Amino acid sequence: MNNSSAFRPASMKDAPEFLNSAHRYRSASAFRQGADVYEDVRPGYPSQVAALVADCHRVLDIGAGTGKLTADLMAAGHQVFASDPSADMVSTLHARLAIPTFRATAEHTSLIDASVDAVTCAQTWHWVDAQAACAELDRVVRPGGKVMLVWNNLDVSHPWILRLARIMHSGDIQRPGFSPELHQPWAISQELRTRWSQYLRTEDLHRLMQTRSYWLRSNEQVRKKMTANLNWYLFERLGFQEGQLLAIPYRTDAFLAQRK
């Protein structure tokens, strides 16, 4: 492993970069598998996130995955529907929460016009065609309704987390202070930026790596190299012990958008 990688500054991009729409689609399609591991080790969201849409009754959670944010919305008393392109994710979510779930994308929700008070997208917006999605959400969100975009980002201001993110190929880390791409008629009306920690054991970090798009679309040889690199980093470079509980710092960035 190249030791110089620890000294490269963190990315200052607002979003992951894709060569074209086909590249973005292939990357996102990796999540057709792995829902059980995703549910076990991916973090949920701070309670302040769901509170951003507290005044919205009927909510569609797009790209819901296994229902990390969906469950918070249900607990807050919303009438919630959930969609995701992945059959594996939808199946896991429905078995866990037993709410209306279906396969769809942000660009093509399959809803009727003006049918929801709010749409939420957690860990999702960087996978979509923002212009097409904004037009679709304008169609399905009622007048006065809201759109909420949310990201959990590994907090790479901690040097050891920066290198961990690179070993994991965590490509969905936006720079601090970033703003998501939005198109008419939507504009950001409120922001929430907060820091917190998830507690995972060393073996869980391997499982967290296995929820990344890069891992899911890689062959066995690449996966073996990633596993060896992570073991070297955790146990030889950092001196952690097997089974040790670690605080993994995160940044949560949430944006509320309303029509201009």
First-to-last CA distance in the chain? 49
Q: Report the phi/psi class of residue 126: left, alpha or beta, with left for phi > 0 and alpha for psi in -120 to 50.
A: alpha
Q: In this structure, are strands 101-102 and 79-83 parallel, antiparallel, or unpaired?
A: parallel
Which helix (H) or strand (E) segment holds residue 40: the answer is: helix 35-41
Kindly indicate the confidence band of residue 26, based on its pLDDT and cuts at 50, 70 and 90: low
Helix (H, G, I), strand (E, B) or coil at 2: coil
Query: C-alpha angle 28/257/250, rounded to 5°?
Result: 55
Kindly indicate the confidence band of residue 31, based on its pLDDT and cuts at 50, 70 and 90: confident
Lowest mean pLDDT among 27-36, 53-62, 82-91, 214-223: 27-36
DSSP 65-105: TTTHHHHHHHHTT-EEEEE-S-HHHHHHHHHHH-S-EE---
The CATH number of residue 92's host domain is: 3.40.50.150
Instruction: List the domain range (segments joined by +) for residue 223.
Output: 3-259
Structure token digits, residue 127: 């996978």
| Averaged confidence pLDDT in the chain | 91
At 174 the pLDDT is 87
Query: Has residue 99 got a pLDDT over 70?
Result: yes
175-198, pLDDT tens digit by residue? 899 999 999 999 999 999 999 999
Q: How far apart are CA 15 and CA 11, in angstroms?
A: 10
Between residues 113 and 33, the one the model is more confident about: 113
Q: How many domains does the chain fold into? A: 1
At 5 the pLDDT is 47
Residue whose C-alpha is closest to residue 196's, from 48, 6, 72, 54: 48
At 1 the pLDDT is 42
Tell me the chain's radius of gyration from C-alpha atoms. Answer: 18
